[in-house]
């Protein structure tokens, strides 16, 4: 079976966890699927970032006549041209790893079946964070994906309940497959990487808190900054923030207003090697988010042996499998300080999450894909 994967939406280093989860999956299909072939549909301006997948014998790359970074034009092209192109190339099944399923010929009329992933319904819960046009587009896309896809995959039980609540007609076609969480073995040791980070950011092993997050309001970084102000009176532990996307200016303004410029370090984008080293050498990993579809960073941090303090909001207690420590009130800075002091007394321990193993997750997807094999 030839499976097409729509990757036109990917804007490298901008799409955050959704991009990471999708790239993990592509690697899984390359490593563990010896039955199907895959065609990756990519933009001509981002094609280079997908070259690495050519190492898999079952992967082909189709460069489309559009640019992923030009969103409006890309969406227009995707909806008018992609399905026709896929059919002309003999694709048997289309997989869309995000909610924006393109227009397509119906299966009843000889079209290709589509499987779509909905990661969350964030704009329904926090409309104040989005423009009116974005909300309209998201709602239209979610409804369309639920109505037209043969199967809707989502990434936590929390999200499944949310989808069914808002689109009850999708109940029988919605299934949960968690994100794959992979942490590669590195050629360069974590200590060697950390030596460079120490010099660059002026940090010491076990002498800083770490968080990895976009700077969108629901990530709740403002509360963490207020907690750092309260902690400042007792010491000089630094907070290292690897923040990409969102409102960086507002974040910087909050840091300044709380008077903790000397304690907060914004690294911006970090490589996977740097991220893993920061996980391993922090005194605590803090994840204050109040809304996630999955929430990969706290799971990654626990796999790397970091003590993790997060919230019970949305899916976070579900995906961390109650193995982390949790604040009672995610918006209360004093509660964060209390729980930080409690978390610092915990033993460091590496956790395993077999349920998120790349091979297991790949097999779950293949079970879904193989339902649509023509001879099945």
Mean predicted confidence (pLDDT) in 212-226: 93
CA 368 to chain CA centroid, Å, is 21
Two structure tokens written together for 81: 């041209």
> Is 80 exceeded by the pLDDT of residue 361?
yes
Residues of the chain with CATH 3.40.50.2000: 2-180+357-372, 190-354
Q: Are 210 and 279 in contact (CB under 8 A)?
A: yes
Gyration radius (Cα) of the chain, Å: 21
> Is 70 exceeded by the pLDDT of residue 187?
no
The average confidence (pLDDT) of the chain is 94
Q: Does domain 2-180+357-372 have CATH number 1.20.120.1150?
A: no
What does the pLDDT read at residue 329? 97
What does the pLDDT read at residue 189? 64
When mean pLDDT is compared across 99-108, 124-133, 309-318, the lowest value belongs to 124-133
> Is 70 exceeded by the pLDDT of residue 376?
no
> Is 90 exceeded by the pLDDT of residue 333?
yes
Per-residue model confidence as pLDDT tens digits over 239-271 = 999 987 778 899 999 999 999 999 999 999 898
Q: How many angstroms separate the Cα of 134 from the Cα of each of 71, 121, 124, 234, 295?
A: 12, 12, 11, 44, 22
Q: Does domain 190-354 have CATH number 3.40.50.2000?
A: yes
Per-residue model confidence as pLDDT tens digits over 302-314 = 999 999 999 999 9
């Amino acid at each position: 079976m030839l499976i097409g994967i729509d990757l036109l939406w990917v804007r490298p280093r901008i799409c955050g966890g959704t991009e990471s989860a999708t790239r993990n999956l592509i690697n899984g299909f390359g490593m563990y699927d010896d039955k199907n072939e895959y065609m990756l549909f990519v933009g001509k301006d981002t094609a280079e970032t997908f070259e690495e997948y050519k190492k898999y014998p079952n992967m082909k790359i189709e460069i489309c006549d559009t640019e992923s970074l030009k969103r409006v034009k890309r969406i227009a092209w995707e909806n008018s041209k992609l399905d026709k192109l896929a059919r002309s190339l003999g694709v048997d099944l289309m997989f869309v790893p995000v909610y924006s399923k393109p227009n397509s010929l119906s299966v009843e009329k000889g079209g290709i079946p589509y499987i779509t992933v909905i990661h969350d319904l964030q704009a329904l819960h926090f409309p104040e964070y989005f423009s009116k046009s974005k909300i309209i587009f998201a709602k239209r896309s979610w409804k369309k994906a639920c109505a037209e896809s043969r199967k809707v995959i989502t990434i936590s039980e929390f999200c499944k309940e949310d989808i069914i609540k808002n689109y009850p007609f999708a109940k029988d076609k919605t299934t949960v497959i968690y994100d794959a969480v992979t942490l590669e073995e590195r050629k360069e040791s974590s200590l060697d990487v950390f030596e460079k980070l120490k010099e660059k950011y002026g940090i010491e092993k076990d002498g800083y808190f770490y968080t990895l997050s976009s700077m969108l309001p629901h990530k709740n970084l403002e509360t963490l900054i207020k907690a750092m102000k309260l902690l400042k009176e007792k010491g000089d532990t630094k907070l290292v923030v690897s923040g990409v996307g969102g409102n960086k200016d507002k974040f910087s303004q909050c840091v300044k207003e709380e008077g903790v410029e000397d304690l907060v370090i914004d690294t911006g984008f970090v490589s996977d090697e740097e991220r893993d080293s920061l996980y391993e050498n922090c005194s605590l990993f803090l994840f204050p988010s109040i809304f996630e579809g999955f929430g990969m960073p706290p799971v990654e941090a626990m796999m790397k042996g970091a003590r993790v303090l997060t919230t019970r909001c949305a899916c976070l207690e579900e995906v961390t499998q109650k193995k982390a420590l949790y604040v009672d009130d995610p918006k209360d800075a004093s509660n964060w300080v209390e729980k930080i002091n409690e978390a610092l007394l915990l033993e460091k321990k590496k956790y395993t999450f077999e349920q998120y193993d790349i091979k297991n997750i790949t097999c779950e997807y293949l079970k879904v894909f193989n339902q649509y094999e023509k001879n099945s």
